[in-house]
């Protein structure tokens, strides 16, 4: 019923004790090096097995400690405890700044990462680098596009929107003509998703240099997007239901929502929970803020990073680089786990681009996303306190979506909270 | 409690050492003798207690002092650690988010605890009445929800409450009614109260039921012979005799209420617009510590919450004792 302070403390204590017990011992000459890796990406064991086969002297234990926030909470706790952290951890692009500041990540250039840098899409590599150091090897990325129900749009005589203005018109039209069908759901509880919209509109929220941080979370681009949504919300033309709930999955399965503006990891994911609508979906390029231009953005995406608590950073770096660079491993991630690749050779291979997807009526969906990936022309710099930031963004944006003021007001509140928090945490803040 | 303890040694001392020894010396002498005599026993007692004491110190006393120490420091992402004294505590008292959580839980408890205990008491009385058909089946049936982990229970109810495709919504739609919005701002507290009541009524029922089993049967028989009907027996005999147990369950429930965490934390995923990071004091402490990296402040929140729990529990005990005294006399 309740998590008392007592259980909280005892479980933390127990966690510490087991963490201490699990700390790796330094390897002797012939002893096998043992590495631990924390990652939540499904079926990664396949690639880990491939690595172990190629490296008989290294044994890897793969652990899933939770997806997203719980994962980072555990990294934080291990850092705080001074031990118990895995050698290699999954690290999303937007968490990099945060854990670089916490001195959690090892510079991989000293183990030869710079030699493979040229094989990656440049923005993915720079997103995990800072000051000439490389803190993570890009794993997957999330260029955006629009998935839509061709049957629903055709039934109501709506063509796939090319601009956000067309999208808004279509949303209002669909809401007027159809019962209980909406063009989109505004999933305000998914920070990466929301920030993808802001990104595409030209958003520039943070800039960190040492302990100086500039915060402009509620800049003009973010407000443009928020105003746009607010209009659709006020017209009740879109819903604001949280993403990844049983209700939400059912809604997509049963055709309550006709589109999903989503990253490259979306198409296969959608096919897993919207089974009854198989064959009815199609993919189209992301709608644009300005007609005739093609600006893209990224949602989500991860890297593999080596932690400063690792007793075997060299072997850990080898693990991260091998998994993310070995052609067989990278190929398996893309074709078996449907992660959108970050390596140029794979993105340029016709085999990858020309894979047809039955769920999308045989459409070569990857082509749409490859084109999108080419049009990500700049990167977003994230905050050095992104775990706090994410919780704040979710709380304020969903509250506004649920009727507490407007989304623009929520952006202002978030901005104020960030400034207050950053000052409290000892940063020099510029706004 | 204090009076008899001090009376006994004085008496013993007089018998043992005679009346010419000064009172203070008498007590001292006695103490020496007693200690010598009782020392091996005490040692044995502590040896037997050792497994418990070691764990108790490691996992309760130790962490408490650790947290207490945490709460008087302030560590930031930049700049490190500095002594904060009581500043964190001052901040908690001025923190709107903390008090919002307390208010929510008080409002929750004022309705939920009486309803849950009322139901538990009625079920226990009916089961204890002896004439109930398939008694053990009902007993297990009522108790079963408690065996479901609260995380699972919250997930089950989260699905049932689904605003678009939950079974209640579907049933309402089929009948042409407006579907109930269980996860809305106005209904969230009752919805949570429903989950907690579902989970814990059976648990409290079992405690009350076992207390009822211990009520002497001759008292009840005597009342029956005097012509008291079952309801009258329940009201005037069975319930007053298990009053201390009712108070106990009430205090447990109040403490549980103020520390509510699992159910709202899981509802946070499906109704983030209503729950937020400060819906209950425990969620707030958790978020502050483990998400916002303000461990020191989270420790201070926990201690203030702890103090609050003590005060409220004491108040429940105080008022129920005052009400009982005339009845018992």
Report residue A133 as tokens.
């150091």
**Inter-chain contact B59–A13, Cβ cutoff 8 Å?**
yes
pLDDT of residue A69: 85
pLDDT of residue B18: 41
Separation of alpha carbons A11 and A18, rounded Å = 10
Considering CB atoms only, which of B67, B259, B306 is closest to A2? Answer: B259
Separation of alpha carbons B41 and B47, rounded Å = 10
Per-position b or e across B222-248, b if 16+ CB within 10 A of its CB? ebeeeebeeeebbeebbbebbbebbbb
pLDDT of residue B28: 52
Nearest CA in chain B to A425: B76
Window A:356-385, CB contacts with B under 8 Å: 384-385
Window A:318-357, CB contacts with B under 8 Å: none
Across all residues in chain B, what is the average pLDDT?
A: 85
**Inter-chain contact B273–A101, Cβ cutoff 8 Å?**
no
Looking at chain B, list the stretches that DSSP marks H as alpha helix, in order from N- to C-terminal side. Answer: 2-17, 23-56, 62-71, 87-93, 96-128, 135-147, 150-160, 167-175, 188-213, 217-225, 230-233, 239-241, 243-258, 262-270, 272-275, 281-286, 295-328
Considering CB atoms only, which of A3, A247, A398 is closest to B261? Answer: A3
Secondary structure class of B76 (helix, strand, coil): strand
pLDDT of residue B325: 56
| pLDDT string in tens for chain A (431-residue length) | 444 444 444 444 444 444 444 445 554 556 789 999 999 998 999 999 999 999 999 999 999 999 888 899 999 999 989 999 999 999 999 999 999 999 999 999 999 999 999 999 999 999 999 989 999 999 999 999 999 999 999 999 999 999 999 999 999 999 999 988 999 999 999 999 999 999 999 999 999 988 999 999 999 999 999 999 999 999 999 999 999 998 999 999 999 999 999 999 999 999 999 999 999 999 999 999 999 999 999 998 999 999 999 999 999 999 999 999 999 999 999 988 889 999 999 999 999 999 999 999 999 999 999 999 999 988 899 999 999 999 999 999 999 998 889 999 999 999 999 999 999 999 999 88
Nearest to A224 by CA among A248, A201, A199: A201
Nearest CA in chain A to B263: A1
Report residue A247 as tokens.
């209700």
A106–chain B Cβ distance below 8 A for any pair: no
Considering CB atoms only, which of B270, B273, B282 is closest to A402? Answer: B273
Considering CB atoms only, which of B199, B274, B277 is closest to A1? Answer: B199
Nearest to B124 by CA among B227, B209, B223: B209
Chain B residues touching A1 at Cβ < 8 A: 150, 196, 199-200, 256, 259-260, 262-263
Eight-class DSSP state of B279: S
Residues 6+ away with beta carbon under 8 Å from B129: B230
How many angstroms separate the CA of residue B52 from the nearest CA in chain A? 15
**Are the beta carbons of A288 and A278 closer than 8 angstroms?**
no
Report residue A238 as tokens.
């879109």
A188–chain B Cβ distance below 8 A for any pair: yes
Chain B residues touching A193 at Cβ < 8 A: none
Element (H, E) at A271: helix A266-273
**Inter-chain contact A240–B273, Cβ cutoff 8 Å?**
yes
According to DSSP, the β-strands at A129-130 and A133-134 are: antiparallel
pLDDT of residue A337: 86
Percent helix, strand and coil across chain A, each to the nearest 5: 50, 15, 35
**Inter-chain contact A427–B273, Cβ cutoff 8 Å?**
no
pLDDT of residue B329: 37
* Burial (CB count within 10 angstroms: exposed 0-12, middle 13-18, buried 19+), residue B324: middle
pLDDT of residue B69: 95
pLDDT of residue B169: 92
Element (H, E) at B84: none
Chain B residues touching A211 at Cβ < 8 A: 78
Considering CB atoms only, which of A69, A256, A398 is closest to B273? Answer: A398
Separation of alpha carbons B102 and B8, rounded Å = 46
**CA atoms in the 13 A half-sphere facing the CB of B114:** 6
Separation of alpha carbons B150 and B155, rounded Å = 8
Residue corresponding to tokens 């005679």: B18
**Inter-chain contact A395–B158, Cβ cutoff 8 Å?**
no
**Inter-chain contact B64–A9, Cβ cutoff 8 Å?**
yes
Residue corresponding to tokens 């979306």: A266
**Inter-chain contact A12–B63, Cβ cutoff 8 Å?**
yes
Residue B280, Cα to own-chain centre: how many angstroms? 16
Separation of alpha carbons B77 and A385, rounded Å = 8
pLDDT of residue A30: 60
Whether the predicted interface score ipTM is above 0.85: no
Nearest CA in chain A to B276: A395
Separation of alpha carbons B299 and A63, rounded Å = 29
How many angstroms separate the CA of residue B290 from the nearest CA in chain A? 6
The CA-based diameter of chain B, rounded to the nearest angstrom, is: 95
How many angstroms separate the CA of residue A17 from the nearest CA in chain B? 11
pLDDT of residue B80: 83
Separation of alpha carbons A375 and A378, rounded Å = 9
**pLDDT tens figures, B162-221:** 988 899 999 999 999 988 999 998 999 999 999 999 999 999 999 999 999 999 989 989
**Inter-chain contact A398–B302, Cβ cutoff 8 Å?**
no
Chain A residues touching B265 at Cβ < 8 A: 3
Report residue B239 as tokens.
């319930």
| pLDDT string in tens for chain B (329-residue length) | 333 333 333 334 334 434 444 445 455 555 555 555 556 778 888 899 999 999 999 999 999 999 999 999 999 988 888 999 999 999 999 999 999 999 999 999 999 999 999 999 999 998 888 666 778 888 888 899 999 998 899 889 999 999 888 999 999 999 999 889 999 989 999 999 999 999 999 999 999 999 999 999 899 899 989 998 888 989 999 999 999 999 999 999 999 999 999 999 989 888 999 998 999 999 999 999 989 999 999 999 999 999 999 999 999 888 887 766 554 43
Nearest CA in chain A to B300: A5
pLDDT of residue B230: 86
A212–chain B Cβ distance below 8 A for any pair: no
A220–chain B Cβ distance below 8 A for any pair: no
Backbone angles phi, psi at B15, to 5 degrees: -65, -40
A427–chain B Cβ distance below 8 A for any pair: yes
Report residue A152 as tokens.
């629903």
Report residue A222 as tokens.
């973010």
Measured from the Cβ of residue B47, the count of other Cβ atoms closer than 10 Å reads: 10
Considering CB atoms only, which of B159, B164, B286 is closest to A256? Answer: B164
Separation of alpha carbons A346 and A331, rounded Å = 7
Element (H, E) at A159: none
**Are the beta carbons of B127 and B135 closer than 8 angstroms?**
yes
Residues 6+ away with beta carbon under 8 Å from B122: none
How many angstroms separate the CA of residue A200 from the nearest CA in chain B? 25
**pLDDT tens figures, A248-265:** 999 999 999 999 999 999
Residue B59, Cα to own-chain centre: how many angstroms? 19
Sign of CA dihedral B96, B98, B102, B104: positive
Eight-class DSSP state of A31: S
Measured from the Cβ of residue A24, the count of other Cβ atoms closer than 10 Å reads: 17
């Amino acid at each position: 019923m309740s998590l008392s302070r007592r259980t909280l403390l005892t479980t933390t204590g127990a966690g510490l004790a087991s963490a201490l017990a699990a700390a790796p011992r330094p390897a002797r000459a012939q002893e096998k090096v043992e590495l631990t890796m924390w990652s939540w990406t499904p079926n990664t064991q396949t690639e880990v097995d491939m690595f172990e086969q190629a490296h008989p002297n290294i044994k890897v234990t793969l652990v899933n400690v939770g997806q997203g926030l719980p994962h980072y909470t555990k990294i934080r706790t291990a850092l705080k405890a001074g031990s118990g952290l895995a050698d290699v951890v999954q690290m999303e692009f937007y968490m990099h700044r945060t854990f670089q500041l916490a001195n959690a990540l090892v510079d991989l250039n000293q183990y030869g990462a710079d030699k493979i840098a040229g094989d990656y899409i440049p923005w993915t590599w720079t997103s995990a680098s800072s000051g000439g150091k490389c803190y993570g090897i890009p794993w997957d990325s999330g260029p955006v596009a629009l998935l839509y129900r061709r049957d629903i749009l055709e039934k109501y005589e709506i063509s796939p929107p090319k601009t956000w203005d067309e999208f808004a018109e279509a949303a209002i039209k669909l809401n007027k003509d159809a019962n209980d069908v909406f063009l989109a759901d505004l999933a305000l509880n998914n920070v990466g998703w929301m920030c993808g919209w802001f990104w595409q509109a030209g958003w520039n929220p943070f800039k960190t240099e040492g302990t100086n941080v500039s915060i402009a979370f509620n800049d003009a681009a973010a407000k443009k997007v928020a105003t746009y949504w607010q209009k659709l919300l006020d017209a009740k033309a879109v819903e604001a239901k949280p993403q990844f709930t049983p209700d939400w999955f059912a809604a997509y399965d049963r055709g309550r929502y006709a589109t999903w503006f989503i990253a490259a990891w979306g198409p296969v994911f959608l096919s897993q929970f919207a089974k009854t609508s198989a064959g009815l979906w199609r993919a189209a390029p992301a709608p644009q803020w300005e007609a005739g231009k093609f600006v893209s953005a990224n949602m989500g995406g991860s890297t593999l990073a080596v932690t400063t608590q690792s007793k075997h950073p060299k072997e850990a770096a080898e693990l991260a680089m091998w998994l993310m660079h070995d052609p067989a491993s990278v190929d398996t991630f893309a074709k078996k786990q449907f992660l959108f690749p970050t390596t140029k050779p794979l993105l340029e291979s016709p085999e990858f681009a020309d894979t047809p997807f039955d769920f999308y009526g045989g459409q070569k969906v990857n082509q749409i996303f490859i084109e999108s990936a080419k049009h990500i022309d700049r990167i977003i710099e994230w905050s050095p306190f992104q775990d706090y930031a994410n919780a704040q963004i979710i709380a304020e944006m969903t509250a506004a979506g649920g009727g507490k003021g407007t989304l623009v007001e929520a952006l202002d509140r978030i901005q104020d909270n960030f400034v207050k928090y950053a000052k409290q945490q000892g940063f020099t803040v510029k706004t | 409690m204090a009076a008899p303890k001090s009376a006994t040694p004085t008496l013993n001392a007089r018998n043992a050492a005679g009346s010419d020894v000064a009172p203070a010396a008498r007590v001292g002498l006695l103490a020496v003798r007693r200690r010598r005599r009782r020392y091996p026993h005490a040692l044995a007692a502590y040896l037997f207690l050792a497994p418990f004491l070691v764990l108790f110190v490691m996992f309760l006393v130790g962490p408490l002092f650790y947290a207490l120490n945490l709460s008087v420091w302030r560590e930031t992402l930049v700049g490190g650690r500095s002594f904060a004294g009581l500043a964190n505590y001052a901040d908690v008292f001025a923190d709107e988010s903390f008090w919002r959580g307390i208010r929510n839980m008080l409002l929750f408890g004022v309705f939920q605890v009486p309803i849950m205990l009322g139901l538990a008491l009625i079920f226990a009385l009916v089961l204890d009445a002896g004439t109930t058909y398939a008694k053990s089946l009902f007993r297990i049936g009522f108790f079963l929800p408690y065996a479901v982990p609260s995380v699972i229970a919250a997930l089950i109810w989260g699905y049932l409450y689904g605003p678009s495709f939950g079974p209640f919504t579907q049933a309402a739609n089929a009948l042409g009614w407006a579907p109930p919005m269980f996860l809305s701002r106005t209904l969230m507290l009752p919805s949570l109260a429903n989950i907690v009541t579902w989970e814990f009524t059976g648990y409290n029922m079992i405690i009350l039921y076992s207390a009822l089993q211990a009520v002497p049967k001759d008292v009840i028989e005597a009342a029956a012979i005097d012509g008291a009907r079952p309801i009258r027996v329940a009201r005037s005999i069975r319930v007053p005799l298990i009053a201390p147990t009712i108070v106990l369950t009430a205090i447990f429930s109040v403490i549980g209420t103020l520390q509510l965490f699992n159910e709202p934390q899981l509802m946070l995923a499906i109704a983030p617009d209503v729950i937020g990071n400060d819906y209950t004091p425990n969620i707030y402490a958790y978020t502050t510590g483990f998400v916002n990296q303000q461990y020191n402040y989270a420790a201070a929140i926990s201690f203030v919450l702890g103090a609050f729990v003590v005060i409220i529990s004491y108040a429940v005990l105080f008022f129920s004792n005052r009400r009982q005294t005339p009845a018992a006399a």
